[in-house]
């Protein structure tokens, strides 16, 4: 049953990666220190980027990021890509985001979307929400939700895109 489930997820990921390609929005986000920056400028051109949208109250979000963080050093030996997170917590919870990310030892970029402007620009409703941006700065994959182990399928797509 588990194999069947993973095969179904894998096929969904395959369809998702190539089914859509859209430009990054220029919506303003804040870095962890409060500086505003257009979202499209947070992505390094010429490099695949994996982006996790999350919130401090979202248990599956934190589990996905924890699992990615654990595997990130090995993954980055296999593929040249960036990883970053965007919190959709409201402005009252901004301090909690900074404290939480520091307590977890996150060394990757953390951005804030306190008014959900970016969330509306990307037209998603729920977190965890994950997307992959290709080397040309195009969103080529989007996914909502998290199941234990699905981060490996994300990495397979990241590897595939980083070789192109």
CATH number at residue 49: 3.40.30.10
| Each residue's pLDDT tens digit, 41-87 | 999 999 999 999 999 999 999 999 999 999 999 999 999 999 999 99
- DSSP-derived pairing of the beta strands 138-144 and 81-87: unpaired
The whole domain housing 52 covers 2-162
Domains in the chain, number:
1
The phi, psi pair for 106, rounded to 5°, reads -70, 125
| Each residue's pLDDT tens digit, 5-35 | 444 444 444 334 444 578 999 999 999 999 9
pTM equals 0.87
């Amino acid at each position: 049953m588990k194999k069947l489930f993973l095969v179904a997820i894998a096929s969904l990921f395959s369809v998702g990666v190539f089914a859509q390609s859209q430009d990054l929005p220029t919506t303003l986000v804040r870095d962890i220190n409060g500086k505003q920056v257009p979202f499209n400028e947070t992505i390094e051109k010429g490099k695949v980027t994996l982006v996790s949208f999350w919130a401090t109250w979202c248990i599956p979000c934190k589990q996905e990021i924890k699992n990615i963080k654990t595997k990130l050093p090995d993954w980055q030996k296999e593929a040249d890509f960036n990883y970053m997170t965007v919190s959709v917590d409201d402005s009252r919870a901004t301090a909690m985001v900074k404290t939480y990310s520091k307590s977890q030892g996150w060394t990757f970029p953390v951005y804030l979307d306190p008014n959900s402007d970016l969330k509306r620009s990307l037209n998603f409703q729920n977190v965890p929400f994950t997307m992959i941006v290709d080397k040309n700065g195009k969103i080529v994959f989007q996914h909502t939700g998290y199941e234990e182990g699905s981060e490996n399928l994300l990495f397979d797509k990241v590897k595939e895109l980083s070789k192109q």
